[in-house]
Every structure is written in structure tokens, then in C-alpha cells.
Amino acid sequence: LYLGYLDYDHARQELTLAQQALPNSSEAFLFAAYIDRRQGRWEDSTRNFEHASQLDPRNAAILQQLSLSYENLRRYADAAAVLDRALTIVPNDVTLRTLRARLALRWKANTKPMHTITETILSENPNAAPVVAGECLPLALYERDAAAAQRALAAMPPGGCFEASIPFPNAWCEGLAARMRGDQEAARDAFTRARTELEKIVHDQPDYAEALSALGVVDSALGNKEDAIREGRRAVELMPVSKNSIEGPQLIKYLALIYAWTGDKDRAFKRLEKAAKLPSYLSYGQLRLDPIWDPLRGDPRFDKIVASLAPK
């Protein structure tokens, strides 16, 4: 019910019965935590993740999910502590190690830990390049390092450009890298290829909100203003925060980006301010460093939003 139909209420009823029948089963509490998180019941979600972890203390995957909840809540110190617990269980897990380093980037705009961990992982196992490419590319873009961006793109597997559940094609990442190095022709070619991929997905699944959002962002990069705004707004309508508290804020963030890239700063700031007040992956580090937000830099309204997310 939860995974197939997003029928949270009926799924919750079934889980309540399961928890009563199997009080020592971590899975019932784990799925309750997932549902709570989707519905924006953050305190209930973290409590259920913690209870699931107590029932299955050697399960690092549960701790990983708890850390992601804390990251959405911007409780970065708590996320770090949970990941440290997970790493005592599986100290060589590549995903957990990169997530731990990523916290410093998002929390404090500090890129050094991510450099250190990716270099360490690749020195231990050069074949891990495709696994860490999804972290190496944002790092390269944040540091405006064209050579590092090309290395990350060369290692990126299919689907490596996704941001959470937003299905950006790899061509989108190629376009961002090209634009960063000032190659507008290559950027437009890459964005056009990304648009072709997304257009087909949306044609086949017209209510796929995340794909519509990605298509809107790509259209904004290509200068297709009216299409971009229509697609971005439709995505937010299809999946509001009240329906999905994980993807909903992401779609608002990308609608803000669409407005920024199509020259409507007032609407961009309105949406970005809203996204910054919601639990989500939007972070101080992203706004400080990511080139995609360059059209808004230098405006006091942007500085105010960035400051609202700064480490306290």
C-alpha cells in the first residue's frame, strides 16, 4: 500500500496491527518511520527509526535512514552522530563514508572532508569511481573545477545524475559542467539531449511530478520560459508537500530555480524562502557554493535566505 499506491493511512493501519502482533519486529517500526517521514510527522518518524534500530542494533541501513531524516531536519550534528554509529558496524561502507563527509559540505560549506574521503576511497579501490561519481561531480561544480567535473562525468553510471528522486539525465550534468567551463554550445547540446529524454518520460507518464520538474528546469536552461514555468508549477501541483514531505520541498526548490533562470527573481525568492523553511535537503552549503544559484547572488534577499540556513 505504501510503496505501490502511496496509501499512507491504510498502510499505517496494517502496520499498527503488525506492531501489536510482532512487537519485536524492526520492520514494522521501520516502515512506520518511512510513512511518518513522507507525511511530515518528523518526530514520530525519528522515534520509529530509533526504535527499529534498538530492535535490530547491527542494521546499519536503519541508521542510514535515520541520518537522512536528521539531514532533512538540518540537525546535522545528530546526523553525524548516527552515521558514526553506523560506521562502527560497517566501517568500510562507501555510501556511509561519503554521506558522513557530505554533511560538512551541506552543513558548513566545507568541501575538505569530501575531498579527503573520495580520494581515500579511490586510492583503496579505483573501481569505486562510479560509486562516488555522484558526489564528486557536485563537489567539482561547487569548486568550479572543470577538470574534476570531467573526471566525475567520465565515471558516472547511468542514472548517476539523479538528485534524490528527481530523474535528471546524465546529459543534464554534462550541460552543467559545460556551462561552468564557459562552453555554451556544448551546454546547449547537452541540455537538448536531456530534454529529449525527459520529454519522452513525461509523454509516457504525464503525472510523473519529479520528471515534470526536471523537464521544467531543463527548459529554463534552454530559454523555454513559458514551458519551463508551466512544467515546474504543474509538478508542484501534482506533488504538494502535504502529499509528500520529501519530494514536495524539492519540487518547490526547483520551481524557484526555474523562476531564477527565467528572470523572475521575485517569484524565485518567494519559492526559495518557502523551501528553506521546510525540512528538506536544501542546505547552506548548496546555496553558498552551487553555481546554479548564481543568477540570485548579490541580491540581499538571497543573502538573507542563505544566512537563515547558516550553521548556528
pLDDT tens digits in sequence order for the chain, 312 residues long: 444 445 666 666 666 666 666 667 799 899 889 999 999 999 999 999 999 999 999 999 999 999 999 999 999 999 999 999 999 999 999 999 999 999 999 999 999 999 999 999 999 999 999 999 999 999 999 999 999 999 999 999 999 999 989 999 999 999 999 999 999 999 999 999 999 999 999 999 999 999 999 999 999 999 999 999 999 999 999 999 999 999 999 999 999 999 999 999 999 999 999 999 999 999 999 999 999 999 999 999 999 999 999 998
- How many other β-carbons are positioned within 10 Å of the β-carbon of residue 243? 15
Alpha helices in the chain (DSSP H): 2-5, 8-21, 26-38, 42-55, 60-72, 76-89, 94-108, 112-124, 129-142, 146-155, 170-180, 184-204, 209-221, 225-238, 247-261, 265-277, 284-289, 300-308
Comparing 1-91 with 161-299, is the CATH topology the same? yes
Q: What is the domain partition of the chain in residue ranges?
A: 1-91, 94-157, 161-299
| Predicted TM-score (pTM) of this structure | 0.93
According to the model, what pLDDT value does residue 28 have? 86
According to CATH, the superfamily of the domain at 1-91 is Tetratricopeptide repeat domain (1.25.40.10)
Note the CATH number of domain 161-299.
Answer: 1.25.40.10
Residues 215, 80: Cα–Cα separation, whole Å: 34
Q: What's the maximum distance between 2 C-alpha atoms anywhere in the chain?
A: 62
Give the chain's end-to-end CA distance (angstroms, integer).
40
Give strand pairing partners of 54.
Answer: none
